[in-house]
Structure 1
Amino acid sequence: MTDYGHDLLFGTFITPTAQPVHQAVELAVVADRAGLDLATFQDHPYLPRFHDTWTLISYAAARTEKIRLSGNVLSLPLRPPAVLARSHASLDRLTGGRIELGLGAGAFWDGIEAMGARRLTPGQSVAALGEAIKVIRAVWDDGRPGPVNVQGTYYQADGLKRGPAPAHDMSIWVGAYKPKMLRLIGRAADGVLPSLSYLSNGPADYADINKHIDDSAAENGRDPAAVRRLLNINGQFSSFGTSFLNGPAEQWAEDLAGLALEHGISAFILASDDPSAIEEFAAEVAPAVRELVAAERAG
């Protein structure tokens, strides 16, 4: 069993649908009022049926009060790292520390290239993400003297002024599945954010995710517990349990508590655009998972 001891977070993974125009924002408001910790949004700038995700996050931040907001995950090839650093810091300061940075190396390259970005190989995209994280952290580090100077193959910052820093210690959560990206997370990022639906063997695949991250963290002098383990989840609420995350709230709580205690997953983000499912997740599942995990940790 693996438990990194993190506090548990619960959130929702919202489709940034452009029609109806306010649907995604209203779902963030539902999640906020229900007491969830996170509202996150997909980012596919090349799809006209979706809002621009960063614009949506900014608007949703003004409509909500307590919930934290993040991309899930932002497409790095279409969002320059220095701009990401400044925009996230600015919105974090304006919201009193409610913004996190979810970042992806890019996946749908036909659409990315159609918007004018360079197509990268998988290895190049990992290297580019590593350079981007260096730029972002350097911009945020406004207490260090001198400008930002990062001379990478894909991203350069030559004499860039530092700051502003975010209002809180903002996390960089990276969407990843494969070993090279996971090793990058182990040495440079604050969290891994895969989707359950993309894990070919289901939750069992998280053991390999953890091993790559933990080994890399240790090799680079980091505590593996410095990296939060997140998971986008999907399932069905029903009266009778039939399978994993398909049943009543009590079963969901047991399923998720098992993931927290066995694989160290500490943030569960429900992929749903159903307000009633979001409310049930917040009211029935989240408190029960917290209770189960707290009891096991105490014991």
Structure 2
Amino acid sequence: MLLRIFTEPQQGADYTTLLRVAKATEDGGFDAFFRSDHYLKMGDVSGLPGPSDAWVTLAGLARETERIRLGTLVTAATFRLPGPLAISVANVDDMSGGRVELGLGTGWYDEEHTAYGIPFPGLGERFDRLEEQLEIITGMWDTPSGKTFDFEGAHYQVTGSPALPKPAQRPRPPIIIGGVGAKRTPRLAARFADEFNVPFHSIEETRAAYERVRAACENGGRDDSSITFSAAQVICCGRDDAQLRQRADAIGRSVEDLRENGIAGTPAEVVARLAAFGEAGAERAYLQVLDLNDLDHLALLASDVLPQV
């Protein structure tokens, strides 16, 4: 199983902090560094110094890392127009030498939209916009150089686009779609996703979501082996119970809660929990690290967990 480090910078992290974590991710041998795409803190934290733009910071990290893959889990379709988003991601992919992945979703956090003047339509329309964005972004990237791209949708229209620039990866950067929706999410994943991710759900719910996507692939005539299945979980690991509790306290969670609703324990317990997700079908795990100042946590995961999975 590939392990990826997943961060939530809106909770309080500047670029320098993200760079330290990304460097530790690369030095530790992890597969990728991902970040959320949010503009407002959640819960009882200061959120200082304030939000950072996902694709601006990933562009910086693209130039200051060498190996790890970089991406969002996930960018909200409400945040950006599809054409400019296709340009931004292609630019960062080129800047990284072809290491970028785009996680794209409907958007869900109403308050951040209100706080920064971003329209927030109802869920049905957000799904409609997400589907059109996926069509436009993949269509632009797949359009041969020298040709133009057109699209006529209910929400977006594209006419005579040169569909430039092209990303470094060909045919395009991987697309990640996630969630546990029963109908539209599996259908969109079967049509567009290179990877399907289930965030913060139980092993049983994760397995069920994978099966819905596999069924949608079968209905759509796609081989489900062409999709990578992944899971995202909060991680809290300690060499012993005292260190585990110290780390849980630092992120305002109880060890008991983290064991039930995340991945928590000693390295051996973390490995066993990851194996259980693997048995449910997960091929990658995004380990959500909430204390971005605790680089020793990453070092422990790198030395005592990563070699065993």
TM-score range, shorter chain: 0.7 to 0.9
Which residue does 2:109 correspond to in 1? 108
Give the match's secondary structure for 1:140: helix
Indicate the residue corresponding to 2:44 in structure 1. none
Selected match of 1:188 from 186, 192, 201: 192
Letter in 1 for 2:129: A
**1:218 corresponds to:** 218
| Shift in CA distance, 20/85, structure 1 to aligned 2, threshold 3 Å | closer
1:28 aligns to 2:22 (yes or no): yes
Which of residues 164, 175, 194 in structure 1 aligns to 2:178? 175
Amino acid at match of 2:7: I
Which residue of structure 1 aligns with residue 207 of structure 2?
Answer: 207
SS in 1 for 2:121: coil
Change (3 A) 1:19 1:111: closer
- Distance (whole Å) between structure 1 residues aligned to residue 22 and residue 277 of structure 2: 25
Distance 1:237 1:144 in 2: 48
**Matching residue of 1:267:** 284
The corresponding residue for 2:252 is none
What is the alpha-carbon distance in structure 1 between the residues aligned to residue 81 and residue 299 of structure 2? Answer: 35
Question: Structure 2 counterpart of 1:277, which letter?
Answer: H
Which of 258, 266, 271 lines up with 2:276 in the alignment?
A: 258
Say which is worse superposed, 244-253 or 55-64, in terms of deviation.
244-253
Shift of the alpha carbon at 1:276? 1.6
TM-score if structure 2 supplies the norm length? 0.82
Gap regions ≥5 residues in structure 2: 42-48, 245-255
**C-alpha separation between the residues in 2 aligned to 1:20 and 1:115?**
19
Aligned-partner Cα distance in 2 for 1:60–1:73: 17
**1:102-158: CA deviations, max 9, x gaps?**
112110124224534332221221121111111011111132774211111122212
- Distance in 1, matches of 2:119 and 2:28, equals 41
Deviation at 1:253, TM superposition (A): 1.5
Q: CA deviation at 1:287?
A: 2.0
For 1:283, the equivalent position in structure 2 comes to 303
User: Aligned partner of 1:278: which letter?
Assistant: L
Whichever residue aligns with residue 270 of structure 1, its letter is L
> Which residue does 2:253 correspond to in 1?
none
- Paired with 2:229 and 2:7, the residues of 1 have a C-alpha distance of 19
CA distance in 1, matches of 2:97, 2:224: 28
Cα deviation digits, residues 218-241 of structure 1 (max 9, x gap): 111111122211211123223269
How do 1:77-88 residues align onto structure 2 when only pairs under 5 Å count?
Answer: 77-88=78-89
Say whether residues 1:117 and 2:118 are aligned partners: yes
Cα gap change, 1:215 to 1:144, in 2 (>3 Å): farther
2:286 maps to amino acid: I
Which of 259, 263, 267 is 1:249 aligned to?
267
Provide runs of 4+ in structure 1 moved above 4 Å.
17-21, 240-244
Give the distance between the partners of 1:26 and 1:125, measured in 2 at CA. 35
Q: CA deviation at 1:172?
A: 0.7
Paired amino acid for 2:19: V
Distance 1:19 1:111 in 2: 17
Q: Percent identity?
A: 25
What is aligned with 2:247?
Answer: none
Q: Which 5+ residue runs of structure 1 have no aligned equivalent?
A: 1-7, 290-299
Provide, for residues 16-73 of structure 1, a one-character-per-residue CA deviation record: whole Å limited to 9, x for no partner.
2555551122111111111111101111135572211111111122221111110121
Q: Secondary structure at the match of 1:66?
A: coil
How far apart in 1 are the matches of 2:85 and 2:95? Answer: 15
TM-score of the two chains, using structure 1 as the length reference: 0.85
Q: CA RMSD in A?
A: 2.2
Aligned length, in residue pairs: 277
